[in-house]
Structure formats: structure tokens, C-alpha cells
């Protein structure tokens, strides 16, 4: 339930705070005072479309804040926590704050539980917190979709569970049927694709490239191409280090000579002995290098002249693959791998089509079965809802009117089944029932909508109902009965009504008046909670246009007394 709403710079409202709370709150005021801005403010809090046109003239932004009381462990509190916000717990309940600001640029910001959040979160919470009815909702009730939603809400959990199962099966049926049909339609194209892939894979398999092979072959080719230069360089390097001729001067021989000279006098100076050992170690290292050069030369000698040709032919084969599927060997191998995977998928088309055909047939039967059960459940609920709404209309000064809910089959199945649902209004016995979308006046539609909500609230309770001039086109005794029914609805839910009828406002337990100041703006002091004589005066103004009219005051007192009497009888009952 909404405890309080704060509004700043919205429409004609400069600043206002509305204390709400449990029960039935009536909001009244002169035309243009801004009372419908309350509904606009609530729409913003519940994620409605942001329109910079609602910002009060001369200001850069408008802001709305709301304070709710919600169950501490309920779905609303859980969603707030998921969005990063928090609630302030006390006992079984918690306080939740929501906020929305709209900038002149058209951008808006949302606040949920003290934290910034996407506007979509406000919309999600709004669906669980409030049902708003205004002139636009009356127009919406003329649509078959709204009529179906009303019947489904009344049918309760049984239908909701059936509908969830149906939608799941129907969605799966459509998806599998679409995949099957696509596979069938594209079968020839996919066969051609599979053939092309087989050729590609066979071509790559024939060459059988290995990871990194292109680089390895390039290195070997470079070596074989320059083998003579390599042989000459290695030979002279080996000869310089350790010559094969016994009398040739080489590094090893010179090092040995140096070592012998130092060893001859090492006994006279240990330092020279150490240097001799270093020369000996260097001689061993140079000898090792000379041996490796000899091995290298031996290897060059074994490289056949035909090896380079073989190697170049292999590089040419790889080059063909890399030009087609490259630029490198890694890409060629990736093409081979993905091609195999895709080929398995394409080769499985026939099996997949058979599998999908079986699944589609099974789902079609399940969808049909669930659609039949949906229709049966809706028809049974339609009978009950028709009777209950007709009873409510009797109490709403339409004693001869009957609502008939017609549930008929459509040729095609849809997301909601195959039912076409039409609300019909029979104004009096013997008259032909006509669809309320065509035959109901604004006043009749207001009462039908209220009757439906009163009935549905018993099976599908909503925390808060907001009605914006639900009494439009209604007066006299019918208005009194609307007030009574709103009071009855307020026994199980919070009810907030923007009204211009004293007959409706009389039944409120909380009466707020929006009053324009002399300069045409609305300030914090201009939203007043009315009690006692102030409330009687406002009621008189609603009745006669004059707050101090004796006859208006007397009539106001009479209405308030009637409402008090009704409440007392309900308590006693």
C-alpha cells in the first residue's frame, strides 16, 4: 500500500505531499487544480512513459517520490534487492521508497530502494503494486485482449497454471516446426554445401598438413639452397680452429703451445698455473666446437641433391592450400576442423527432420489438448463472472442490466489459446446483448469496469487500486452506489479515487483536496487532508459549486451520514 506521495514541479503542481494510507482515499479539487496530476505522478513512479511536457513551466525537471508498505519477504521486496536496492523492515512489513525524475531533455532517472535502477524495474514492481483505472482504461476495456485478461484474472490459479503450460508447449511447437520447415526448404542448398565441404576436406586430407610445417620447410629450404656457402664457411672455420694437416697453424695448436709454456714455469708462480688451467679449458671448448663443425660438414655431405626438389614440391602443395584456405597452415587446419563439424550437422539433416517431425506432432497434440482445457476452464469461469458482475450492476443502479461473457473458438491457435472472448451488455430483459465495445455508454462502461474489479478482487487481490474519474458520466443514485462499491473494494485493498462527485467522495475514509493558490500554482499547503467542517464545505462545493450554500451543506451532511451508516452496518454485519 502507498503511504505517501511527494510531487515537485509536475504540471500546475509546484510542490505537494499526499498522505494516503489504508482504506478509501478520495482526491477532489476544482477543475485545473491538478488533481489528475496525482495519477500522472503515480504513472511515472510505476515506470510510465516520461514526457518532458509534464514539467511545470519555468523548471528544468520534475520529480516524484513514493513511500510504500510491502511484505518484508514478498516478491516485491525480493525484486528490489535483486535490483540493488533495499527496504526498511519493521515486523512482517517493510518500507519501500521509489522515485522518478524527468528532465527537460526528455531523459528520466529511476530510484528503487535508495539506489539508481533501470526504469524497467519500476514497471515490474508496478504490475505487482497498483492497478490504475482511468478514461484510457475504460477505452481499453473495449478491447478483446483486456476482456480476456479480466476473465483470466477471475479464473485464478487453475487457469494461470494451464495457460503457462500451454504457452510453453505452444512456443516449443512453433520453434520446432519452424526449424523443421527451414531444414526441408533448404535441403537442396544444404546438400550442395555438404558436397563442397567433402571436396574441401578431401583436398586437405590428401596433403595432410601438419602444424608449423610451412615454417619448418622454409627453414630447411633456405639451408639447402645455400649449402655450398655453408660448407665452405664451416670448413674454413673448422680448419682455423683445428686443422687436419699436422703442421698447419690452428687455434688448438696455439692454445696447446701457450699452455705448455705456462706449465713449464707454473711451479715458480701459482698465478701462472691458474692461467694455464684456463687456457687448457679453452682448448677443450675450441676442440668441441671443431668436432661439431665436423659433424655439421658430415651432415651437409649426406644431404642429397634431390632433397631440395622434394622439399620445394611439398611447399608448393601447402601453398595451394594456404591460398585457398589460409593465409597460414593454422587457418587451413581450422577450416578442416570446422568443416568436419559442419558436415556432421548437415549429414544429420534427415535424422533431424524425422526427429523434429515426431516432436512437432507430439507438441501439436499437447497444444490442442491444453487449448481445449483452457476453453473449458474459461467457459466455466465466464458463467460465474457474468453472474457476479450482473449482481454488482444491480447494486450500481443498473438493476435490469446483465453482462454476458461469450467464449467462442477461433480457427487458429495463438499465444492465449483459441478462445475469442467478448463481453456483452444486455441493458434490459428482451434486449439483444451487444458488445460493450459498441453498445455501452461512458457511464455504463465505468460501472461495468468497477463491477468487474470488485468481483475479481475477491479471487485476484491487488494491493492498491487507483481510479481516475471512474464516475464519469454517472450521477445521482448510481454515483452513490459507485461510492458504496469503492468502499467495499477498500475493505480488502487500498483504493485511491480522483473524483468530482460528492456522492463518491462521501464514502472515503481519507479525503484530500487539491486547491489552487491565487497565482494559479499548487504548493505544499494546497493539498489538504479534510476533516470536520472543512470536509463538509468541500462536499457542498462539489454538490452545488458553493462551499457555503446552506442547501449544499445540508446535502453534504446527509451524504456523509449515509456513508457513516453504511460503514457501521458493514461492521455490525
Q: Which of 276 and 367 is assigned the larger pLDDT?
A: 367
Strand order in the sheet with 434-435: 402-414, 417-426, 434-435
User: Most confidently modeled of 159-163, 270-274, 302-306?
Assistant: 159-163
Burial of 145 (0-12, 13-18, 19+ CB in 10 A): exposed
Residue 456 lies in a domain: no
CA distance 429 to 402: 8
Q: What integer pLDDT is reported at residue 519 of this predicted model? A: 60
Residue at a domain's end among 292, 320, 347? 347
Alpha-carbon distances of 565 from 211, 319, 490, 492, 571, rounded to whole Å: 94, 100, 16, 19, 10
Q: Region 459-476: what's the mean pLDDT?
A: 76
User: What does the pLDDT look like over 548-565, one tens digit per residue?
Assistant: 778 888 998 999 888 888
Using an 8 Å Cβ cutoff, are 167 and 159 in contact?
Answer: no
Considering the domain architecture, whether residues 63 and 135 belong to the same structural domain is answered as: yes
Considering the domain architecture, whether residues 559 and 500 belong to the same structural domain is answered as: no
Considering the domain architecture, whether residues 229 and 312 belong to the same structural domain is answered as: yes
CA distance 446 to 396: 10
Residue at a domain's end among 331, 347, 363? 347
Q: Region 263-280: what's the mean pLDDT?
A: 84
CA distance 460 to 455: 9
Q: What integer pLDDT is reported at residue 242 of this predicted model? A: 82
Q: What integer pLDDT is reported at residue 522 of this predicted model? A: 53
Burial of 140 (0-12, 13-18, 19+ CB in 10 A): middle
CB atoms closer than 10 angstroms to residue 542:
26
| pLDDT band at residue 520 under the 50/70/90 scheme | low
Asked whether the predicted pLDDT for residue 366 surpasses 80, the reply is yes
Considering the domain architecture, whether residues 501 and 551 belong to the same structural domain is answered as: no
Residue 417 lies in a domain: no
Q: CB-hemisphere CA count at 13 Å for 61?
A: 10
Asked whether the predicted pLDDT for residue 305 surpasses 70, the reply is no
Considering the domain architecture, whether residues 236 and 101 belong to the same structural domain is answered as: no
| pLDDT band at residue 126 under the 50/70/90 scheme | confident
> What stretches of 348-441 show up as alpha helix (H) in DSSP?
349-395, 436-439
Q: Which of 76-90, 363-377, 514-528 has the lowest mean pLDDT?
A: 514-528
Look up the CATH number of the domain holding residue 21.
3.40.50.300
The continuous run of DSSP H or E covering 449 comes out as helix 442-456
Q: What integer pLDDT is reported at residue 59 of this predicted model? A: 85
Q: Region 146-170: what's the mean pLDDT?
A: 91
| pLDDT band at residue 451 under the 50/70/90 scheme | confident
Q: What integer pLDDT is reported at residue 518 of this predicted model? A: 62
User: What does the pLDDT look like over 141-155, one tens digit per residue?
Assistant: 667 888 898 899 899
Q: Region 163-192: what's the mean pLDDT?
A: 87
- Cell digits for 444? 455504463
For the chain, what is the domain count? 3
Q: Region 195-205: what's the mean pLDDT?
A: 87
Q: Region 114-135: what's the mean pLDDT?
A: 83
Residue at a domain's end among 530, 548, 564? 530
Q: Region 192-212: what's the mean pLDDT?
A: 87
| pLDDT band at residue 527 under the 50/70/90 scheme | confident
Q: What integer pLDDT is reported at residue 388 of this predicted model? A: 92
Of all residues in the chain, the percent with pLDDT exceeding 70 is 91
Considering the domain architecture, whether residues 204 and 304 belong to the same structural domain is answered as: yes
Q: Which of 46-55, 127-136, 146-155 has the lowest mean pLDDT?
A: 127-136
Q: What integer pLDDT is reported at residue 152 of this predicted model? A: 92
The continuous run of DSSP H or E covering 130 comes out as strand 130-133
49 secondary structure, DSSP code = P
Considering the domain architecture, whether residues 318 and 213 belong to the same structural domain is answered as: yes
Q: What distance lies between CA 543 and its chain's CA centroid?
A: 49
CA distance 318 to 7: 75
State the pairing for strand pair 108-112/93-103.
antiparallel
Cβ within 8 Å of residue 277, ≥6 positions away: none
Considering the domain architecture, whether residues 5 and 135 belong to the same structural domain is answered as: yes
Cell 481516475: give the residue: 468
From 514, 533, 536, select the one nearest 525 (Cα to Cα): 514
Residue 412 lies in a domain: no
User: What does the pLDDT look like over 12-40, one tens digit per residue?
Assistant: 788 888 899 899 999 988 776 677 778 88
CA distance 35 to 563: 23
Considering the domain architecture, whether residues 470 and 497 belong to the same structural domain is answered as: yes
Cβ within 8 Å of residue 170, ≥6 positions away: 367, 413, 415
Q: Which of 132-141, 178-187, 306-315, 356-365 has the lowest mean pLDDT?
A: 132-141
Residue 203 lies in a domain: yes
Considering the domain architecture, whether residues 515 and 572 belong to the same structural domain is answered as: no
Residue 432 lies in a domain: no
Q: What integer pLDDT is reported at residue 382 of this predicted model? A: 94
Q: What distance lies between CA 359 and its chain's CA centroid?
A: 29
| pLDDT band at residue 524 under the 50/70/90 scheme | very low
β partners of residue 117:
110
Residue 44 lies in a domain: yes
Three-state SS string over 222-257 comes to HHHHCHHHHHHHHHHHHHHHCCCCCCCCCHHHHHHH
Q: Which of 95-99, 124-128, 168-172 has the lowest mean pLDDT?
A: 124-128
Considering the domain architecture, whether residues 285 and 331 belong to the same structural domain is answered as: yes
User: What does the pLDDT look like over 284-299, one tens digit per residue?
Assistant: 988 898 888 888 877 7
Residue 562 lies in a domain: yes
Considering the domain architecture, whether residues 240 and 301 belong to the same structural domain is answered as: yes
Residue 251 lies in a domain: yes
In terms of residue numbers, what domain contains 81?
A: 1-141+462-530
Amino acid at each position: 500500500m502507498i503511504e505517501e506521495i511527494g510531487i515537485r514541479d509536475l504540471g500546475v503542481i509546484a510542490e505537494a505531499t499526499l498522505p494516503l494510507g489504508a482504506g478509501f482515499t478520495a482526491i477532489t479539487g476544482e477543475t485545473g487544480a491538478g488533481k489528475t496530476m496525482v495519477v500522472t505522478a503515480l504513472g511515472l513512479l510505476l515506470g510510465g512513459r516520461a514526457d518532458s511536457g509534464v514539467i511545470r513551466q519555468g523548471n528544468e525537471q520534475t520529480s516524484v517520490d513514493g513511500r510504500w508498505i510491502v511484505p518484508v519477504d514478498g516478491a516485491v521486496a525480493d525484486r528490489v534487492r535483486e535490483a540493488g536496492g533495499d527496504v526498511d523492515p519493521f515486523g512482517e512489513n517493510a518500507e519501500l521508497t521509489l522515485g522518478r525524475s524527468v528532465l527537460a531533455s526528455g531523459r528520466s532517472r529511476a530510484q528503487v530502494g535508495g539506489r539508481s535502477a533501470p526504469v524497467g524495474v519500476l514497471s515490474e514492481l508496478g504490475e505487482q503494486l497498483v492497478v490504475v483505472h482511468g478514461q484510457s482504461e475504460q477505452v481499453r476495456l473495449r478491447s478483446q485482449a483486456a476482456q480476456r485478461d479480466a476473465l483470466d484474472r477471475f479464473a485464478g490459479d487453475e487457469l494461470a497454471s494451464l495457460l503457462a503450460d500451454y504457452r510453453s508447449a505452444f512456443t516449443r511447437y512453433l520453434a520446432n516446426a519452424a526449424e523443421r520447415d527451414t531444414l526441408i526448404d533448404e535441403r537442396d542448398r544444404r546438400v550442395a554445401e555438404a558436397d563442397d565441404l567433402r571436396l574441401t576436406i578431401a583436398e586437405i586430407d590428401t596433403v595432410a598438413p601438419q602444424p608449423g610445417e610451412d615454417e619448418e620447410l622454409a627453414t630447411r629450404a633456405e639451408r639447402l639452397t645455400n649449402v655450398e656457402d655453408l660448407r665452405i664457411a664451416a670448413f674454413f672455420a673448422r680448419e682455423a680452429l683445428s686443422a687436419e694437416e699436422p703442421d698447419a697453424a690452428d687455434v688448438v695448436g696455439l692454445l696447446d703451445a701457450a699452455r705448455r709454456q705456462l706449465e713449464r714455469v707454473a711451479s715458480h708462480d701459482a698465478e701462472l698455473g691458474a692461467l694455464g688451467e684456463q687456457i687448457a679449458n679453452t682448448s677443450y671448448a675450441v676442440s668441441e666446437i671443431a668436432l661439431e663443425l665436423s659433424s655439421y660438414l658430415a651432415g651437409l655431405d649426406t644431404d642429397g641433391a634431390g632433397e631440395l626438389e622434394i622439399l620445394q614440391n611439398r611447399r608448393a602443395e601447402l601453398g595451394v592450400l594456404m591460398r585457398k584456405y589460409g593465409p597460414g597452415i593454422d587457418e587451413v587446419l581450422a577450416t578442416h576442423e570446422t568443416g568436419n563439424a559442419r558436415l556432421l550437422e548437415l549429414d544429420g539433416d534427415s535424422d533431424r527432420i524425422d526427429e523434429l517431425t515426431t516432436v512437432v506432432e507430439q507438441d501439436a497434440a499437447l497444444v490442442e489438448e491444453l487449448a481445449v482445457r483452457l476453453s473449458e476452464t474459461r467457459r466455466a469461469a465466464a458463467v460465474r463472472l457474468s453472474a457476479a458482475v450482473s449482481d454488482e450492476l444491480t447494486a450500481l443502479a443498473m438493476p435490469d442490466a446483465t453482462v454476458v461473457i461469450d467464449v467462442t473458438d477461433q480457427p487458429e491457435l495463438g499465444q492465449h489459446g483459441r478462445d475469442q472472448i467478448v463481453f456483452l451488455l444486455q441493458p434490459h430483459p428482451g434486449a439483444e446483448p451487444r458488445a460493450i465495445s459498441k453498445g455501452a455508454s461512458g457511464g455504463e462502461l465505468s460501472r461495468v469496469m468497477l463491477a468487474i474489479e470488485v468481483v475479481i478482487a475477491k479471487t485476484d487481490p491487488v494491493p492498491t487500486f487507483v481510479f481516475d474519474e471512474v464516475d464519469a458520466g454517472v450521477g445521482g443514485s448510481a454515483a452513490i452506489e459507485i461510492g458504496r462499491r469503492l468502499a467495499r473494494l477498500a475493505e480488502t485493498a487500498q483504493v485511491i479515487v480522483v473524483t468530482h462527485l460528492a456522492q463518491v467522495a462521501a464514502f472515503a475514509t481519507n479525503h484530500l483536496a487539491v486547491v489552487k493558490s491565487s497565482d494559479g500554482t499548487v504548493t505544499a499547503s494546497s493539498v489538504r487532508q479534510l476533516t470536520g467542517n472543512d470536509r463538509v464545505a468541500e462536499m457542498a462545493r462539489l454538490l452545488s459549486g458553493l462551499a457555503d450554500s446552506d442547501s449544499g451543506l445540508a446535502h453534504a451532511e446527509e451524504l456523509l451520514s449515509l456513508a457513516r451508516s453504511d460503514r457501521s452496518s458493514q461492521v455490525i454485519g
